[in-house]
């Protein structure tokens, strides 16, 4: 009996002392590892937040179960905590953790352990995020600081255009940083369409200039701008599927397998993957807008120009489209310019507004 009790105690001691794989010492030169439960699925040697952003990219195509995502990281401030929570991490072990990170993990329900704790990490990002609470805005700031912004800067200086003696644009100036966004509003005849044509390089200004990524529109690499035109109430019908519309923008130098992945991912990103085999012209206005956005994503457009994107949309389609635009503005982060008559869109998106002419609604 005594021998059996000793054996049982030994089993308990063995399992009690067992260290979960994600808590075990990191291999030499590895700064972050990610586990699917007990299986290591990702390792990285990078510094700062780069391994976590690499992990985010990996998770986009990972087909395993993400319900048991565990992380071992060498150091974590609030920035790392924000990213891990966004990725759905359930457990994390950190070699060096800050009080700010610990508070954020605990508030978000992440099971956390650590080797050493400090008040704050000595970095600018930690100080920047300390007073912030909006997780979406923090994520956007982190992508900008990591230079993970697909957008291009836009500089419009004293742009003017006239038809004969009739002035359409009159000394319009604005600046948008890469990944920024702008709503352009104004009554009919105040130059909204003219401005879009000038940005597209289809119209030469009478005065002033436009620089997109430091170049004139006519000098931009093909595919830099994605244009989503206003939907029409009546359109010509062509036998083309939603998948084919998006596939027109894919990079043909990629392998066929990668091309299909890019197309499918873009369709999923905008919520129309299930419609991929439907005739594009049989779709509702909102569905067509989402397919057009998917085409621009597949194109890897760095500047999106949208002309009256909420026209002809019902309430639900309008809401869905705006949610996609909000998501793009913190995810892929192309530069986005929207021309619109929609009086509520400024409230819904809370983006900077440029009003052309005397329309001060």
Q: Kindly state whether residues 136 and 163 are assigned to the same domain.
A: no
3-state secondary structure of 285: helix
- Indicate whether 312 belongs to any domain: yes
Q: Are residues 222 and 141 in the same domain?
A: no
Same structural domain, 134 and 250:
no
107 is a domain residue? yes
Q: Residues 101, 12: one domain?
A: yes
Question: What is the structure's pLDDT at 361?
Answer: 47
Q: Judge if 125 and 200 occupy the same domain.
A: no
Same domain, 135 and 261: no
Residues 158 and 114 in one domain: no
Residue 169 belongs to a domain: yes
Domain membership of residue 361 (yes or no) is: no
CA distance 71 to 111: 10
In a domain, 125, yes or no: yes
CATH number of 344's domain: 3.40.50.300
- Same domain? 193 vs 225: yes
207 and 304 in a single domain? The answer is: yes
pLDDT score recorded for residue 188:
77
**Prediction pTM value:** 0.80
Length in residues, the chain: 361
Beta bridge partners of 352: none
Same structural domain, 169 and 128: no
242 and 342 together in one domain: yes
Sheet arrangement for strand 181-185: 225-228, 303-307, 335-339, 181-185, 353-355
**154 Cβ contact list (under 8 Å, min separation 6):** 174, 175, 176, 180, 199, 210, 211, 212, 303, 335, 337
Identify whether 32 is part of a domain: yes
Look at residue 360 and tell me if it is in a domain: no
Tens digit of pLDDT at every position of the chain (361 positions): 555 555 544 544 445 557 899 999 999 999 999 999 999 999 999 999 999 999 999 998 888 888 899 999 999 999 999 999 999 999 999 999 999 999 999 999 999 999 999 998 988 999 999 999 999 999 999 999 998 898 999 999 999 988 777 888 888 999 999 999 999 998 777 888 899 999 999 988 989 999 999 999 999 998 899 998 876 555 556 789 999 999 999 989 989 999 999 999 899 888 899 999 999 988 887 888 889 989 998 998 999 999 988 887 788 888 888 888 888 888 888 999 999 888 888 888 889 999 987 654 4
Q: Are residues 60 and 168 in the same domain?
A: no
CA distance 329 to 179: 7
Number of domains in the chain: 2
Cα gap 238→235, rounded to integer Å: 9
For residue 238, tell me if it sits in a domain: yes
pLDDT given for residue 290 in this prediction: 87
CA distance 192 to 172: 11
Where among 119, 145, 171 does a domain terminate?
Answer: 145
Of 352, 343, 356, the closest CA to residue 181 belongs to 352
Q: Which of 117, 145, 173 is the last residue of a domain?
A: 145
pLDDT at 2: 53
Q: Which of 148, 293, 323 is nearest to 226 (CA)?
A: 293
The answer to whether 292 and 323 are in contact (CB under 8 A) is: no
d(CA 5, CA 76): 43
Any idea what the CATH number is for the domain that residue 8 is in?
3.40.140.30
Last residue in a domain, options 145, 169, 193 = 145
Q: Which domain holds residue 233?
A: 154-355
């Amino acid at each position: 009996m005594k021998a059996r009790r000793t054996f049982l105690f030994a089993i308990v001691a063995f399992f009690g002392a067992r260290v979960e794989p994600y808590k075990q010492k990191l291999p030499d030169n590895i700064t972050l590892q990610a586990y699917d439960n007990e299986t290591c699925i990702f390792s990285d040697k990078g510094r700062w937040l780069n391994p976590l952003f690499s992990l985010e990219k990996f998770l986009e195509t990972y087909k395993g179960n993400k319900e048991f995502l565990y992380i071992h990281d060498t150091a974590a401030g609030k920035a790392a905590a924000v990213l891990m929570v966004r990725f759905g991490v359930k457990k994390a072990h950190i070699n060096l953790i800050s009080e700010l990170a610990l508070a954020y993990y605990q508030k978000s329900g992440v099971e956390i352990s650590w080797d050493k704790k400090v008040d704050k990490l000595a970095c600018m990002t930690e100080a920047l995020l300390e007073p912030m609470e909006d997780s979406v805005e923090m994520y956007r700031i982190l992508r900008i600081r990591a230079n993970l912004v697909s957008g291009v800067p836009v500089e419009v200086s004293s742009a003017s255009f006239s038809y004969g003696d009739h002035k359409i644009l009159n000394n319009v100036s604005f600046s948008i940083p890469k990944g920024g966004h702008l709503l352009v509003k104004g009554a009919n005849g105040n130059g909204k369409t003219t401005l879009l044509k000038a940005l597209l390089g289809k119209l030469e200004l009478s005065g002033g200039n436009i620089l997109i990524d430091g170049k004139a529109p006519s000098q931009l690499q093909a595919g830099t701008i994605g244009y989503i035109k206003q939907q029409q109430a009546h359109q010509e019908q062509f036998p083309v599927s939603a998948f084919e519309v998006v596939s027109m923008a894919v990079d043909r130098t990629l392998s066929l397998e990668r091309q299909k992945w890019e197309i499918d991912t873009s369709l999923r990103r905008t919520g129309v993957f299930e419609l991929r085999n439907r005739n594009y012209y049989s779709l509702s206005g909102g569905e067509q807008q989402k397919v057009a956005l998917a085409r621009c994503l597949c194109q890897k457009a760095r500047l999106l120009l949208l002309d009256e994107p909420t026209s002809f949309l019902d309430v639900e389609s309008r809401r869905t489209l705006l949610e996609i635009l909000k998501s793009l503005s913190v995810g892929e982060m192309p530069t986005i310019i929207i021309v619109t008559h929609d009086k509520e869109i400024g409230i819904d998106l809370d983006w900077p507004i440029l009003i052309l002419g005397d329309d001060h609604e």
